[in-house]
């Protein structure tokens, strides 16, 4: 019976571990495999229930012999004897020794009874004391472990290492300055008319996208913030990323042209959106 149970457990574990691997490779589990898995699991549960019933029947059959063994003075008060007592109906291990013992004093006719705390509760309480001493010693006395603040700082530092510090890192702000050469602004205007005007309007007055000529910005109005918005877009807001479609210089030319429109007050301008901000000029 035990060999059969181990064989079923091994087969079930094999199928359970094979499931995630198949999912990672994109393979779907077929209906026959799923049916076999449920059959094996059901059989395993049935075998465990049979073992449990056999164990209960064996304890019931051997209870007189267990009771005699439990009543032996050398066994009754030992820890193993208390465990044995659970099998013969003595719950001292769970409920304690003293139950409803009448004390020798009363108050206004009210009698007081004494009861042991459940042993499992007392041992659990002692365990919390040991844990507290170990915790204070490990973290605060020896200072071997990291407290929450130090753990947070270490995790943030590790996360920062996972972000590549490259020009394509969206978390690394550039240090560009606004282009003012007529040729750059002319190119920026042409690129804006081709790529940006459908959403922001021919004069950047705003259509689907926001008005770009006022002092209000949703994602920052400084040249490097606008550059970042144009390059990487804004997920979920309709602003597409122009990285890979425009070169870095072209993005800077569009950015510079947009900032040159500040205060132009075009007709039919869209109401302000975002926070009021005066665009700052970054130094190289």
* pLDDT band (50, 70, 90) for residue 34: confident
Q: What is the pLDDT of residue 2?
A: 42
Once rounded to an integer, what is the mean pLDDT over residues 219-242?
90
**Closest CA relative to residue 231, chosen from 164, 179, 174:** 174
pLDDT above 50 for 113: yes
* pLDDT band (50, 70, 90) for residue 166: low
Q: What is the pLDDT of residue 108?
A: 76
Q: Rg for the chain (alpha carbons), in Å?
A: 38
In this structure, which long-range contacts are made by residues 145-150, counting pairs with CB atoms below 8 Å and at least 24 apart in sequence?
A: none
- Comparing 20 with 236, the larger pLDDT belongs to 236
Query: Number of H helices and number of E strands within the chain?
Result: 12, 4
Q: What is the pLDDT of residue 8?
A: 42
pLDDT above 80 for 1: no
pLDDT of 138-163, one tens digit each? 999 998 888 888 889 888 877 766 65
pLDDT of 73-96, one tens digit each? 777 777 677 777 777 777 776 666
**Closest CA relative to residue 134, chosen from 144, 149, 148:** 144
User: Between the CA of residue 63 and those of 45, 53, 84, 219, 236, what are the distances in Å?
Assistant: 27, 15, 10, 78, 70
Q: What is the pLDDT of residue 282?
A: 38
Q: What is the pLDDT of residue 68?
A: 82
pLDDT of 189-200, one tens digit each? 999 999 999 999
């Amino acid at each position: 019976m035990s060999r059969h149970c181990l064989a079923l457990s091994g087969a079930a574990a094999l199928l359970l571990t094979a499931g995630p691997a198949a999912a990672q490779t994109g393979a779907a589990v077929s209906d026959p495999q799923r049916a076999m898995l449920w059959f094996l699991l059901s059989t395993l549960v049935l075998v465990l229930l049979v073992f449990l019933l056999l164990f209960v029947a064996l304890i019931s059959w051997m209870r007189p012999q267990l009771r005699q063994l439990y009543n032996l003075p050398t066994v009754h008060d030992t820890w193993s004897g208390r465990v044995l007592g659970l099998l013969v109906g003595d719950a001292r291990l769970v409920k304690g020794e003293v139950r409803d013992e009448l004390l020798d004093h009363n108050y206004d006719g009210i009698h007081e009874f004494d009861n042991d705390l459940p042993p499992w509760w007392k041992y659990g309480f002692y365990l919390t004391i040991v844990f507290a001493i170990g915790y204070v010693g490990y973290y605060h006395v020896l200072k071997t472990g990291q407290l929450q603040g130090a753990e947070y700082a270490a995790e943030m530092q590790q996360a920062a290492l996972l972000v590549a510090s490259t020009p394509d890192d969206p978390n690394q702000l550039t240090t560009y300055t606004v282009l003012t050469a007529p040729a750059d602004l002319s190119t920026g205007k042409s690129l804006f008319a081709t790529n940006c005007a459908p959403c922001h309007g021919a004069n950047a007055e705003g259509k689907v996208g926001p008005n770009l000529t006022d002092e209000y910005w949703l994602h920052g109005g400084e040249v490097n913030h606008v550059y970042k918005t144009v390059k990487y877009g804004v997920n979920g807001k309709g602003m597409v990323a122009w990285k890979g479609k425009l070169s870095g210089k072209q993005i800077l030319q569009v950015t510079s042209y947009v900032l040159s429109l500040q205060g132009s007050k075009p007709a039919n301008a869209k109401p302000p959106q975002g926070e009021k901000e005066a665009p700052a000029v970054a130094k190289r």
